[in-house]
Amino acid sequence: MTTTVPGIPAARGAIDALGPAELLHRLRARGSSAEDSPITHIEHVASRAGRTVPWPPWVQEPLRDAYGFQPWEHQATAASLAHAGQHVVLATGTASGKSLAYQMPALSRLLDDPRATVLYLSPAKALAADQLRALIRLGIDGVRPATYDGDTPREEREWVRQHSRFVLTNPDMLHHALLPGHARWAPFLRRLAYVVIDECHSYRGVFGSHVAHVLRRLRRLAAQYGSSPTFILASATSGDPADAAARLTGLPVTAVTEDASPRGAVTFALWEPPLLPPAVETVEQLAEAAAGAQSPRSGQTLHSGQSLHSGQSLHSGQSLHSGQSLHCGRSDADLLADAAGTRTRRSALSETADLLADAVVAGTRTLAFVRSRRGAEVVAAMARRSLDEAVPGLGDRVAAYRAGYLKEDRRAIEQALLSGDLLALASTNALELGVDLVGLDAVLICGYPGTRASLWQQAGRAGRAGGEALAVLVARDDPLDTYLVHHPEALFGRPVEATVLDPTNPYVLGPQLCCAAAEAPLRPADLSLFGAEAAREAVEALTRSGALRKRPTGWYWTHQGRPDVDLRGTGGAPVAVVESATGRLLGTVDQGSSHAMLHPGAVYLHQGTSHVVDDLDLDESVALVHAEEPEWSTHARDVTDLSVVAVREYVDAGPVGLFLGDVDVTSQVVSYQRRRLGSGEVIDTRPLDLPPRELRTVAVWFTISPRELQTAGVPQADIPGALHAAEHAAIGLLPLIATCDRWDIGGLSTANHADTECPTVFVYDGHPGGAGFAERAYGTATEWLRATREAIASCGCTTGCPSCVQSPKCGNGNNPLDKEKAISVLDAVQAALTAARP
């Protein structure tokens, strides 16, 4: 397979010296006419001059002098709110100087009140270390900033407790050390003026729900010692930062979102790889499939023909009929090559490789972000090969870059890029971690990185001082990517994705109440802090089970030791993935996903390297693996039942119903398929002997009457395919409205559900007790389902492809799927919902 590189004069090896704008012009010339140009949109984001304001009058002279510059307007606004005692969240772009916004009021208070203290929480040690260095550089007397984390030596901890007035730590340390040992922190807590929560958007899902309670425990103890600190939060830009911050802290929070920091101009092109004739298969796709191969997880496969009542057995090999449920997870196009067996769009990796080669020919310094390490290496190799075919030696101007490189290698690459010896790099997002690359003209982003914040962070890598930069988002064949390249307003307009968490999750609330009771007896008055009614019910249940003991003054933890609560889980130890030969711990997988991801024979990817599972020991929570690169991928199949336990809320829209409620999902991984990489050909199906798993969680679902479907042009026979297709796309689009990844969601569609007695599509949180995703989907259902419909409709394929309704995780081979009828279903649902809930 020869990739043609437009514009390379084969006879000479000259490289042009084009700027980003000229490169874009050259790229636009791809395609024979405007209609078949892969560019779906070009957004010129103008440069912005920064807006500084005078220092707020309350900021002391020494502090102003220490900084030596004036604040941007948003920094001063947020700082002044916090200074006035209002809880505030600053949600602005990366590199917009959020640190200054909390340093100002915090340090100012420490200067004014020589006894006051500040607690700073960050999700990453590296970030806390950065902050510490910045504070030390400021050199404000008497602050004595110090980190307090797992690395702090025991003898230093005592000093930190007694002397530091600006303690930098993380939620785990707060949960495991600081709060349980609060008596020793009493002087610090008594004078606690501010709590700073940096990168607060990272506290989402189950982890976020736990952190929300850790913060409530902090607030309760601070209050008992007599302080009520002001919370200052820093967030990436998101849909509703005030609401997310309020859920996290349990306090009313004011959001500051207007960014007044300067920004360089960037031209942003959205790129949709062209459709290919069917059944095209190339060596390049095989390489790509190898790069993307990964096994699916539990809750994401489709099984054949079982009924919906728990306890009924599975009859394998039944044919499809209405009433059967289809059960799938969010699609991920990196993995698709081996899933459906057909691919109808040129892959994002191939497109990115070509664009990178074009950039080299143009002499434009370009960085391509690719999601997996193997993917980055494949992109670099493909670009090198096509350049060398055109002009031998030209391929040397391209390199792959990854976190695993030694420091010297990384420096050498950075140096070569700076000098111009190297013109193009393909990298994973390892570069986000503080590696400094300057002088880039263009950034190619291979696949939407999952959040707008990451997208802008990656795009922000391009742009020399004063110059215009180019960023290109290359869509992967995934419904969300398809939607985004056709709806630029979702990327450039008001953000809609929100950080979600659910502190009322009983699997989080119960254990957290035990932690709180172990720190200090829970009094009835404390319950409102932890969620009033839900907390009361939880405390009563804990008392009945003997976890807590009720006395006249409140509820007590009377057991030996402290409650053992993992902030990242909802019960069940994570399964450790261990390399047998070396005993090396490769990573952990939560229990919920372990059956599907780590069953014996499963192919498990770790940082782009593939391993095969030898043994899964569920009692010990360990999976033993060995490194191997087989020619197949593995796909677990499970049997799943879903029953409705309770409806929390609903919208009655006549023939359509929209519901939020509690459901029981029972699933059992029963077998797995091995499929040849690239072709997707099924090699064999092997049985597995794993116990069923039960999941009580939260789901959003819609029902639509068969009569209404008939009216909408969906006859009985087409209902399963229409609902199944709608379900796949709906799961794929959920990250548009709530930051989540494919591990977080499951789905099930059925032409007749025993509990709803109607054709129904369920989408549920993949964590016990729910994590807020289904709730967010319910709250924004109109927006979510409209986007789902749009993603399907704007895909140019004829009968459905991975860019719209196919899911690589579908254990039923994406069958049945009816793209056209899915649009009819969603239109009918949308129309009814809009009429009922405009």
Chain positions contacting Zn ion, by CB under 5 A:
302, 326, 328, 795, 797, 801, 803-804, 810
CB closer to Zn ion, 383 vs 729:
729
CB closer to Zn ion, 296 vs 463:
296
CB closer to Zn ion, 296 vs 772:
296
Nearest approach, Cβ of 196 to Zn ion (angstroms)?
A: 44
Name the burial class of residue 225, with classes exposed (0-12), middle (13-18) and buried (19+) by CB atoms within 10 angstroms of its CB: middle
CB closer to Zn ion, 98 vs 303:
303
Residues paired with residue 615 on neighbouring β-strands, in sequence order = 624
Which one-letter amino acid corresponds to residue 156? Answer: E
Nearest approach, Cβ of 813 to Zn ion (angstroms)?
A: 9
Nearest approach, Cβ of 370 to Zn ion (angstroms)?
A: 22
First-residue to last-residue Cα distance in the chain: 53
Q: How far apart are CA 442 and CA 352, in angstroms?
A: 12
Contacts of 142 (CB under 8 A, 6+ apart): 110, 111, 114, 165
Nearest approach, Cβ of 87 to Zn ion (angstroms)?
A: 43
CB closer to Zn ion, 608 vs 811:
811
Q: How far apart are CA 804 and CA 688, in angstroms?
A: 31
Least Cα distance to 383 among 345, 357, 408 occurs for 357
Nearest approach, Cβ of 330 to Zn ion (angstroms)?
A: 11
Give the H or E element holding residue 645: strand 632-653
Phi, psi values for residue 584, rounded to 5°: -75, 135
Q: How far apart are CA 249 and CA 195, in angstroms?
A: 10
Nearest approach, Cβ of 820 to Zn ion (angstroms)?
A: 11
CB closer to Zn ion, 328 vs 398:
328
CB closer to Zn ion, 703 vs 807:
807
Nearest approach, Cβ of 342 to Zn ion (angstroms)?
A: 11
CB closer to Zn ion, 210 vs 819:
819
CB closer to Zn ion, 548 vs 801:
801
Cis before 816 (ω within 30): yes
CB closer to Zn ion, 27 vs 797:
797
Distances in Å between the Cα of 591 and the Cα atoms of 297, 747, 798 are 11, 18, 39
Nearest approach, Cβ of 1 to Zn ion (angstroms)?
A: 24
CB closer to Zn ion, 462 vs 804:
804
Task: Determine the length of the chain.
Answer: 838
Nearest approach, Cβ of 777 to Zn ion (angstroms)?
A: 18
Q: How many CB atoms lie under 10 A from the CB of residue 169?
A: 22
Radius of gyration of the chain (CA): 27
Q: How far apart are CA 336 and CA 272, in angstroms?
A: 16
Least Cα distance to 294 among 805, 808, 815 occurs for 808
Nearest approach, Cβ of 670 to Zn ion (angstroms)?
A: 16
In this structure, are residues 220 and 214 in contact, taking their beta carbons and an 8 Å threshold? no
CB closer to Zn ion, 230 vs 666:
666
Nearest approach, Cβ of 744 to Zn ion (angstroms)?
A: 17
In this structure, are residues 790 and 691 in contact, taking their beta carbons and an 8 Å threshold? no
Half-sphere exposure (CA, 13 Å, Cβ side) for 428? 15
Long-range contacts of 795-800 (CB under 8 A, 24+ apart): 795/479, 795/482, 795/819, 796/275, 797/275, 797/344, 797/345, 800/725
Nearest approach, Cβ of 307 to Zn ion (angstroms)?
A: 17
